[in-house]
Amino acid sequence: MEILAYGVQADEKPMLRTALDGRHGLRMLEEFLNRNTAPLAAGYEVVSTSVNAQLDAEVLRTLAAGGTRMIAQRSTGFNNIDLDVAAELELTVARVSYYSPYAVAEFAWTLAMAVNRRIIRAAHRTREFDFRLDGLMGRDIHGMTIGVVGTGKIGECFARIAHGFGTRLLGWDVAENPYCRDELGMTYTDLEALLAESDIVSLHVPLLPATYHLIDAKALDLMKPGALLINSSRGGLVDANALVETLRTGKLGGVGLDVYEEETGLFFFDRSVTGIADDTLARLMTIPNVLVTSHQAYFTSTAVGQIVETTVRNVEDYLAGRQSENTLVPAP
């Protein structure tokens, strides 16, 4: 059987080839799955997609009409898939429920440190032999209060690193993480108190209807003056327009974003020649204390290797008629 994989990054290609060698055929496309590219899947029983794929009702119906029976998403998030329509069409859907949480947690701290210590501005200056320190003053992380919004696997890893810096930890989640509470000394509180007391707020919750624009104008207004906001989870957690307006007031010390709510069609593409039409993102990227990266927090050899291996297992489970914790829509 030959698998069609959409949205494959250059560094991901050899890993997919190796994982599938001797098992199944593989066709890889750099293009992402959307309404325009869905017809390319005609004749492929199994299609593999990435987090920025568009899997709405129209795309799913096109896939089903072309003979696709299984979708193997190479990500943890699945808010881009209409699962109800997939079930209606009897399409099996699986995701990667787990990969290295250290990849994302470490990158979240990379953003926080870079914003706090003005690393991007400093690097640009020194490349032009400007070695002044004006405007580069940061703050010690040690002694800060760190707010961790979502204390699952990634949030726990982020908190472990924060604990190593010697910080006070605040947490918010629907359920308390015993390790964070008992071993790291995290105090669980309501979101309003966390925002008001934290010097750094880092987001590690999934994007659900209940968490959409969790950080809106009201939440931003609650944040401590000079605080840093870090989002390496899902773009829709933050109301980007409200964030721009808050940043214009000078209230926040800085923002690090690896995700953006309208990133589809932008992130993972080269727009250096054409530019972008998204005024909100363009405005964000012109603000000196904002650092935007292109959804790369997960992108380590360890994490991507685990994603690929799990995706292959998901395909094998489908072919054998098995379900696992990765199954979102089981075979009929």
Confidence of residue 269 (pLDDT cuts 50, 70, 90): confident
pLDDT at 77: 85
| Cα within 13 Å of Cα(186), Cβ side | 34
pLDDT at 21: 83
pLDDT tens across 125-167, in order?
999 999 999 999 999 999 999 999 999 999 999 999 999 999 9
Is 263 one of the annotated active-site residues of the chain? Answer: yes
Kindly calculate the radius of gyration of the chain based on its CA atoms and give it in whole angstroms: 21
d(CA 254, CA 153): 25
Neighbouring residues of 1: CB distance < 8 A, sequence distance ≥ 6: 24, 25, 45, 46, 319
Average pLDDT along the chain: 95
Confidence of residue 284 (pLDDT cuts 50, 70, 90): very high
d(CA 150, CA 113): 20
d(CA 320, CA 255): 46
pLDDT tens across 64-121, in order?
999 999 999 999 889 899 999 999 999 999 999 989 999 999 999 999 999 999 999 9
Taken in order of first residue, the domains within the chain and their CATH numbers are 2-99+300-329 (3.40.50.720), 101-292 (3.40.50.720)
Beta-carbon neighbour count of residue 245 at 10 Å? 13
Helix, strand and coil in the chain, % to nearest 5: 40, 15, 45
pLDDT at 22: 81
Query: What percent of the chain is modeled with pLDDT above 70?
Result: 100
Site of tokens 């509470």:
181
Give me the phi and psi of 202, to 5 degrees please: -120, 135
> Pick the catalytic residue: 234, 245, 283, 313?
234
Please determine, for residue 59, whether its predicted confidence score (pLDDT) is greater than 90: yes
Please determine, for residue 332, whether its predicted confidence score (pLDDT) is greater than 90: no
pLDDT tens across 171-183, in order?
999 999 999 999 9
> Pick the catalytic residue: 156, 263, 309, 325?
263
pLDDT at 23: 87
pLDDT tens across 202-222, in order?
999 999 999 999 999 999 999
Q: Judging by DSSP bridges, how do beta strands 145-149 and 168-172 pair with one another?
A: parallel
